[in-house]
Structure 1
Amino acid sequence: MRQYETIVCDVQDGVAQLGFNRPDMLNAMNRLMMDEIIDALEFITGDKQVSVAVITGSGRAFMAGADIKEYSRQTPDEFRSFQGKGRRLYALIEGAEIPFIAAVNGFALGGGFEIALACDFIVAAASAKMGLPEVHLGLIPGGGGAQRLLLRIGLGRAKEMLLLGQAYEAAKMLEWGVVHAVAEDGSLEEMTNALAEKLKRRPRQAVKAIKGMLTPSAIEAAFESRLDREGAAVAALFHTAEARKLIQEFVEKNK
């Protein structure tokens, strides 16, 4: 287990667990916490023994956005640095070769919701609430939350969430396609671990290729270009030892 002040990070049997740990502040993210999250993400994504990662929070919140007290005191240079590091944080999750699961245990607001949106899967407790409330402060999401939300739920619903700035229940987020599954309170960890175990067994090279094809920047390319990329990826995978072995095992099993 790596030692941090505001988060916990551990790897067990190929599954990384990253937990936000400022429960008295609803895990609101200050500059120290952002630096520690980035450090942990760099460790997780650089460890070839890790096959899947889970992000969650301690206490009543996943993460209730930025630490507004500290945020309000930032100089222009500090603000630019904070925003730049935020983009780095989300990019590390979104661009990782391995799947990331956001286990949303409570409030996921502002930057906390942006972190969840950067993950490949969102599993939420039934009592969890999510939203982008920046409009109430005369602001907008600064880390790409609006763009990632748009890709998940479309223009109309994205405008609703952004302009109203409300917190939405997990059931509504499931209905809108933001959340992949809702767990009864008390069973979030069990549901998340089951998903992590399934993902851990998927061939790493294929997972990497799938994630590479489906990044926001990749899906904005021209359709023919995306087809070419997909074709090149499957051709490269077909000739790997891992794919040949799995194909042969399938053939033998189904004789």
Structure 2
Amino acid sequence: MHAWFALPDVGADLIERMRLPTAKAVALLPELQQHDRLRIGPVELERRGDGGYLTFHNLSCLNAEDDALIDAFETAVDLVLLDERIKVGVLRGGVMDHERYRGRRVFSAGINLRHLSAGQISYLDFLLRRELGYINKMAHGLSAAGAEAGAVEKPWIAAVDSFAIGGGAQILLVCDRVIAEQGAYFSLPAAKEGIVPGLANLRLPRLVGARMAGQIILDGRRVSSTETDGRLLFDEVVHPAEMDAAIEQAVERFSAAAVIANRRMLRLLQEPAEALRSYFAQFALEQAQRIYSADVLAKVARV
């Protein structure tokens, strides 16, 4: 895969094609438009007013990401982007039944390490697909290829309860508004686990600066929503009881007509297409070398 993405024309074409909506999402769109609610495996999607609310329900593993969640998540993201009534996407974790967090919401525990240890995390369908599938669709919208109206993109709001670890933290880097409850935290432990944290190495430095990005990625620094540096990652910090109201207010603000145009202009500067392709070509190589290496498998076997 590294060789294909390293070719500028071929790599750019692959990235564009991976931003096409999935056939499953296209087939489910009429049902969403009729009922305003869908359950797609571990993901629940509901339209309320201008908002498309995606709630993760991988409950027993604290919303850890696995192949099934990735597939459902991409379908739900596609539906938010395809439904013309929805103006803003909202991401939030469901209420847990895990013993330690029972009754509390959790955003995401990142990659499911038990699945990784068991060989159930795939290189193509998980590690590459999530980056150029739903995450890139959130960042840059659906591809213009074959669409009469051109590319379709919308702003995204993340509501972080408890924590956003690993892959969950990576999602925040493409969201336009991140609301966190007091005491929630951000963490990217991939280097300690022995892998590369997706496109975080590309996106995190522009948010927090190179020095702090190195502390988070290389040394595993955890950033709390209530510390001063947390303001670089969390736009708004609220009491847990105020989270629902804060989300609704953000949806109203980000539904404004000019938000998408200005969002698009910001992305042109922040993440040019060629920078994304070049980074991803190297990422495909580095992650392939790391994901099933002996030290990684030894670490996850102890989880």
Q: Report the TM-score when normalising by structure 2.
A: 0.67
Structure 1 residues 172 and 146, CA gap change in structure 2 (3 angstroms): farther
Aligned match of 1:211? 263
Cα distance between partner residues in 2 of 1:173 and 1:116 = 18
1:82 matches 2:126? yes
Shift of 1:211: 1.5
Shift of 1:52: 0.8
Where in structure 1 are there 5+ consecutive unaligned residues?
222-255
- CA deviations 1:194-251 (Å, max 9, x no partner) are 1111222x11xx2222111111x54466xxxxxxxxxxxxxxxxxxxxxxxxxxxxxx
Cα distance between partner residues in 2 of 1:25 and 1:198 = 33
Higher relative contact order structure (alpha carbons within 8 Å, sequence separation ≥ 6): 2
Where in structure 2 are there 5+ consecutive unaligned residues?
1-36, 96-104, 142-152, 273-303
Q: Give the secondary structure class of the aligned counterpart of 1:103.
A: strand
Matched-pair contact (CA < 8 Å) for 2:225–2:231: no
Aligned match of 2:167? 111
1:128 matches 2:198? no
Determine which of 110, 115, 136 is the counterpart of 1:65. Answer: 110
1:139 matches 2:195? yes
Aligned match of 1:41? 77
Aligned match of 2:223? 168
Structure 1 residues 219 and 33, CA gap change in structure 2 (3 angstroms): closer
Cα distance between partner residues in 2 of 1:162 and 1:220 = 19
- CA deviations 1:111-159 (Å, max 9, x no partner) are 00111111111110002111101122122202x1122111111101100
1:99 matches 2:151? no
Structure 1 residues 173 and 38, CA gap change in structure 2 (3 angstroms): farther
1:225-236 matches, cutoff 5 A: none
- CA deviations 1:149-177 (Å, max 9, x no partner) are 11111101100111221322112376441
Percent of pairs identical after alignment?
25
Cα distance between partner residues in 1 of 2:244 and 2:229 = 18
Counterpart AA for 1:98: K
Counterpart AA for 1:35: D
Counterpart AA for 2:263: K
Structure 1 residues 160 and 30, CA gap change in structure 2 (3 angstroms): same
- CA deviations 1:8-28 (Å, max 9, x no partner) are 111111210001112221100
Q: Give the secondary structure class of the aligned counterpart of 2:192.
A: helix
Matched-pair contact (CA < 8 Å) for 1:104–1:125: yes
Q: Give the secondary structure class of the aligned counterpart of 1:171.
A: coil
Aligned match of 1:16? 52
Q: Give the secondary structure class of the aligned counterpart of 2:111.
A: coil
Shift of 1:91: 0.6
Cα distance between partner residues in 1 of 2:117 and 2:134 = 21
After TM superposition, where is structure 1 displaced by more than 4 Å over at least 4 residues in a row?
173-176
Cα distance between partner residues in 2 of 1:183 and 1:195 = 13
Larger radius of gyration: 1
Matched-pair contact (CA < 8 Å) for 1:101–1:119: yes
Structure 1 residues 175 and 22, CA gap change in structure 2 (3 angstroms): closer
Q: Give the secondary structure class of the aligned counterpart of 1:11.
A: strand
Structure 1 residues 175 and 6, CA gap change in structure 2 (3 angstroms): closer
Q: Give the secondary structure class of the aligned counterpart of 1:62.
A: coil
Give the root-mean-square deviation of aligned CA atoms. Answer: 1.8
